[in-house]
Each structure stands twice: as structure tokens, then as C-alpha cells.
Structure 1
Amino acid sequence: MASPSPSTANGVPPNLLLNPRAHILSSSEAPLSTVPSTNGFAASSKATDTSDPLAPEDEKSLLEQILEHKSTGNTHFTSTPPDYEIAISFYRSALEICPPSLAEHLTILHANIAAGFIKLERWKEAEDAATESLKASGEDDDLLRAREAKQRMREQKERKEREEASKDGGKGKAIDSAVGNSEGRIEELDDDEEEGNNVEWGKNWKARLRRAKAREMQNTWQSLSGALEDYKILSTRSIRYQAIPSLDHKAIQLALTRIPPKLEDKKQKEVAEMMGKLKGLGDTILKPFGLSTNNFQMVQDEKSGGYSLNFTQNLGK
């Protein structure tokens, strides 16, 4: 009798089937990222090798296995009761053999993993998975910021040109705009700008929404700042975001109202905590000299707005 398939034996995902540490899944505190892969598919090396494109028949074979693992993961995700940890492991098994050419499937698998970690309330892992999903879909944050920076620079340049044109009465600029620039050349779009314009911002709104929630739930100054940024993008980005269901739209608007005061409060507390630690360190260093940080006071100059450090020897005497 043939041995059972690695993807179906006992309902255990391939990357855990031969793993002696599979019991780690019973602990909700143990990150699944610590579970090493034992996936024996020969196709894995092909999936991670980007030097040569896959043959159509190889890609088709991989896709069949990917969809099988994904489907099994979905079954565990929606079962009664659900098993999110095993679902995540099946999604990861699919990721291990998913080539870069199947970017849409990479996007979905990472987003599904993020959803699983949210259900498990493992917020940092959910954030990381959602970020990978956004990268796979081409909506990388660095690319987004670079594009918006270019847009601001272009707007500043245009504003400056309009101001200069108004000083000259607008005549010279009007002529240039009609026939090209002053040297008779027609201005062309930068290649980078054209590439940026091809990015479909908003097509992966589910991953961004999941990351926003995961960041908010971490409840630190940094994570709340990131959550607020994601929620703002969700509320203002391209027309693709109009497809967001009304219930999620309402949640986004509530978050935009809820987070700013929480962010300011967390900022004040973390800054005060940091200053307290610095003060304690300073007092430890100064104690052998009979001094403390209370002997040093920051005084702001009313005219310049700058600060100076004043020393008082007999403070409190």
C-alpha cells in the first residue's frame, strides 16, 4: 500500500510532519517562526531559485500543490472549532514552494497568515506577515513614501515656477509652455515616475487593514504611529479603496478618531519613562561627586528658543 501523501497524512502540514518539535504548536506563546521546515518537496529549491524562470509545466505543478495546501489551511481556519496554528502551517507550506512569478498567491498566503495571527492575538507576527503581503503585491511602504516625496518635490517645483512666472508677468513662461522649454526641448516624464504610476495602490487593502489592527493592538508609541499611518492611507488612497465594505470603512473612521489621543498619551508616557531612566543613570554617575541631575537645569532662551544647561551647586540648601 502506498504511503500517505505528505500534505494529507494525519492532517499535519508538510513542514511539521517530520518535525520532532511539532508539539511547540500547543503553546500559544511560541512563535511559529521558530518551527523549522522539513518540507521534502524537491520543487522547493526551484521555487526559491530566481535565477532561471520556471518552465510552464513546473509552475503548473507547483500551483496545484500551492492551492492544495492553501485549501487545507482554509479548512482548518474555518473549521469548528478552528485551528489557526495548523492553518498557518499549511499556508507556510504553500509559501515554501511558491515562486516569485506567482505574486498574487504570495500576496494572499501572507495575508492569510496575518489573519491567523490576528485570531491568535499574536500582534507582532501578524504585522510582519501583513507587511510581507504588501511587499508581495508591490505596495511596499518605502516605494509609497518615495513616490509621495517625488510628488511633493514636483508640486514645489511647479509652485516656484508659477511664482517666478507671476513676477515676470507670465509672458516668458507662457511662451515656453506652448513650444517646450527654453531650449526648445519637450519635457518628458521620469521613468521612475512612470513606474510608480503603474502601482495599483489599494488592491491589497485587506493586508493593510490587518496590519493597522495588529499595530494598534501592540499599543506602543511606534506601533500606534504606524497604525495611524495605515488607517490614513486606507481612508485616502486610490479609487481601489472604495471597494472596502462599509463596515470596514466605519471601523477605519473610528480608528482615525480613536488613535490620536492614545498616541499622544503613549508618547508622553514613553518619553517620561525614558527621561526617568536617563535621570537614574545620570544620578548613578554623579553620586560619587556629591551631585545629582537636580543640580543641572535646562533653561530656554525666550528669544532664540534654544536651551542652555545651568549648574546649581547648593540646590535645595
Structure 2
Amino acid sequence: MSEIPPNLLLNPRAHVLRSASAPLSAVPSTNATSTLTVAEPVDPTARLSPEEEQTRLSAALADKTIGNTHFTSNPPDYETAISFYRSALDCCPAYLTDHTAILHANIAAGFIKLLRWKEAEEAATQSLKVSGEDDDVLREREARKRQKEEAERKEKEGKGIEGAKGAGAQDNSNGRIEEVGDDEEENIEWGKNWKARLRRAKAREMQDTWQSLSGALEDYKILSSHSMRFQAIPPIDRKSIQQALVRIPPILEEKKQKEVAEMMGKLKGLGDTILKPFGLSTSNFQMVKDEKSGGYSLNFQQNPDKK
């Protein structure tokens, strides 16, 4: 692949115009787009007039189409594709989230092809935020769901029988969780942007650290947690999700033990450095577990090497 000129990120159309292999039909008209890069509203979420919105959206879709062409060309040019997707984001009004979420997800796909995992994760995360599937929101929903399930379990076990009078009425005084209505739950559409989440899971897994693998496992669990959404995912991707749910946990535990051991080793080295002027080391101190309480106490040994 030829070296991408430095001005590509600023003006990808210049690269297309100079490329002998690029078809002329792939070059968008500059009549509608030449002023778009300098006409960005101060507030990117501000609503535009219908005419300007359509003009900017048309320009964005044109850049997206060119990006797709470079993505699928033979050989593919993922760098250029990413640049056109970014150019499309610059053109597209931010409040058209269906379009901007797809563009961020396309950028993530490009970085995955380039094996640039961290950048792929960041692009996929941005796509999820744009589509309303922010991780913190999902965690809050899951927490509420667990609370609801716990309250129902206790009620079935006979606890809180006195508060069960008038089961149809809300009673916040006994700590019960107000349920989300069916209509509200239906409007959440948490799995609408499953492609971005799957790409982020892949990017996180390939970074191969304890933290990234934990995030990948969380994404895979979310992808498989609702049967209706899961069934909408193509079979080949469902299979990869199921395989990941089996594959990652043992690797994650191994990474956890290794990274904890490395951290403890560094802390031990630091402790030995601090204690050395006093003729001591961390070997003089031992953590002893109290089997009755389950707590630990710190014991000092003058000569730890002697048995």
C-alpha cells in the first residue's frame, strides 16, 4: 500500500483526486461540500435548517460510500477508508445519531483490520455512547434488575408478607424496587448497536491484559444476555460470542494471578528498599490468617530464614 499523504486526514478527497486507481465516479462533487468543513455550527448538536441538514447528510453519505469502497477494494485500503469515515463525521450533524453511530463503528472496523486494538476500542466505545448504550447506563439497569430479582426472591420466601397487602400498589417504604414498565423496557433498544459492542469486545480481547479481558468478557455477556437480541445476531457471530464466553474466563484468571504477582513483586521491591537502612526486609513480616475471624494479622520475625 502506498504511503498516505500527510494531508489525507484533513482532506481525503485530495487523495482520491490524485490517485490514478480511484474511479472518477468515486469522487464526490465539491459543489455541495466545499464549504462544509468551515461552516460547522458552534454547537454541534444545534438543529440545522432542513435544507442544510440534507446537504450535510448527503455529503456525509458520499464520504461514507467512498470509505466503504476503499474498505472493500482489492487490495483494501483501511487507512483511507477511516479517513473518509472521519470526513463523513465532520459533515454529518451530530444529532443524526443513527448515522454517526454507524460511522464510529465503521472506524472501529477499520482499526481492527489494521490490528490497532486500542483505537478500535475507543471508536467502538464512541459508537455505543452515540447510540445511547453507554456502559454506565447498562450497569445501572443491571443493578436495578438484580435488586428487583432479589426483592422478588425474598417475597417468594415469605419475607415481607405484611407488606404484600395490596400487591398492585407501590409501597416504597418497605424498600421494594419500582418496576420498569413494559413499554419503557421496549423502548430501551440496548442491543441495537450490537456490531459496535462486538467489535469492542474483539479489540479488548486482543489487547490481552487483565483489564481489557475483563471488559471484553463484560461485552460478550451483554451481547448474549437477551435472547431476542441475541437471536438477531448472525449465526457466525453468535457462535464466536459463545466461544468467547468459554474461552476468556480461564485466561482472565491466569492474567489476574500473573498481574497480581507482578504488582506484589514490585511492592515487595519497594518495601525492601525502604526497610534496607534499618537492616530489615519484607521477609521479616508475614501475613497470618486467623481461621476463626477470616482476618489477617502482621507478624514480625527477627530471623525469617531460620526454621
Q: Given the two structures, how large is their TM-score scaled by the length of structure 1?
A: 0.79
1:99-153 Cα deviation digits (max 9, x unpaired): 2321111111000000000000000100111111111111111111111111222
Determine which of 60, 71, 77 is the counterpart of 2:65: 71
Looking at structure 1, the residues matched to 50 and 134 of structure 2 have their Cα atoms a distance apart, in angstroms, of 28
Q: Aligned residue for 1:263?
A: 252
Q: Aligned residue for 2:285?
A: 296
Amino acid at match of 1:203: K
Q: Given the two structures, how large is their TM-score scaled by the length of structure 2?
A: 0.82
Determine which of 111, 114, 132 is the counterpart of 1:138: 132
Determine which of 83, 86, 97 is the counterpart of 2:77: 83
Amino acid at match of 1:217: M
Determine which of 41, 44, 47 is the counterpart of 1:49: 44
Once the two structures are superposed, the pairs formed by residues 213-232 of structure 1 within 5 Å of their partners are 213-232=202-221
Determine which of 15, 23, 38 is the counterpart of 2:10: 15
Following superposition, the deviation at residue 18 of structure 1 comes to 11
Q: Aligned residue for 2:21?
A: none
Looking at structure 1, the residues matched to 54 and 9 of structure 2 have their Cα atoms a distance apart, in angstroms, of 19
Secondary structure of the residue that 2:10 maps to in structure 1? helix
Following superposition, the deviation at residue 173 of structure 1 comes to 3.3
Q: Aligned residue for 1:25?
A: none
Secondary structure of the residue that 2:286 maps to in structure 1? strand
Q: Aligned residue for 2:147?
A: 153
Q: Aligned residue for 1:316?
A: 305
Aligned pair in 2 of structure 1 residues 173, 167: CA closer, same or farther (>3 Å)?
closer
8 A Cα contact 1:228 1:259, kept in partner: yes
Looking at structure 2, the residues matched to 284 and 188 of structure 1 have their Cα atoms a distance apart, in angstroms, of 53
Secondary structure of the residue that 1:46 maps to in structure 2? coil
Aligned pair in 2 of structure 1 residues 140, 238: CA closer, same or farther (>3 Å)?
farther
Secondary structure of the residue that 1:15 maps to in structure 2? coil
Amino acid at match of 1:173: A
User: Which stretch shows the higher mean deviation, 231-240 or 271-280?
Assistant: 231-240
1:50-108 Cα deviation digits (max 9, x unpaired): 2x321111110010000011011111111111111111011011112222321111111
Aligned pair in 2 of structure 1 residues 152, 194: CA closer, same or farther (>3 Å)?
farther
Determine which of 105, 111, 114 is the counterpart of 1:120: 114
User: Which stretch shows the higher mean deviation, 94-103 or 62-71?
Assistant: 94-103
Secondary structure of the residue that 2:230 maps to in structure 1? helix
Following superposition, the deviation at residue 287 of structure 1 comes to 0.7
Residue ranges of structure 1 left out of the alignment (5+ in a row): 1-9, 20-38
User: Which stretch shows the higher mean deviation, 191-200 or 95-104?
Assistant: 191-200
Q: How many residues align?
A: 279
Looking at structure 2, the residues matched to 238 and 40 of structure 1 have their Cα atoms a distance apart, in angstroms, of 47
Residue ranges of structure 2 left out of the alignment (5+ in a row): 15-33
Looking at structure 2, the residues matched to 207 and 100 of structure 1 have their Cα atoms a distance apart, in angstroms, of 18
Amino acid at match of 1:46: P
* Identity %, equivalent residues: 64
8 A Cα contact 2:37 2:91, kept in partner: no
8 A Cα contact 2:101 2:128, kept in partner: yes
Aligned pair in 2 of structure 1 residues 82, 270: CA closer, same or farther (>3 Å)?
same
Looking at structure 2, the residues matched to 97 and 53 of structure 1 have their Cα atoms a distance apart, in angstroms, of 14
Looking at structure 1, the residues matched to 178 and 171 of structure 2 have their Cα atoms a distance apart, in angstroms, of 17
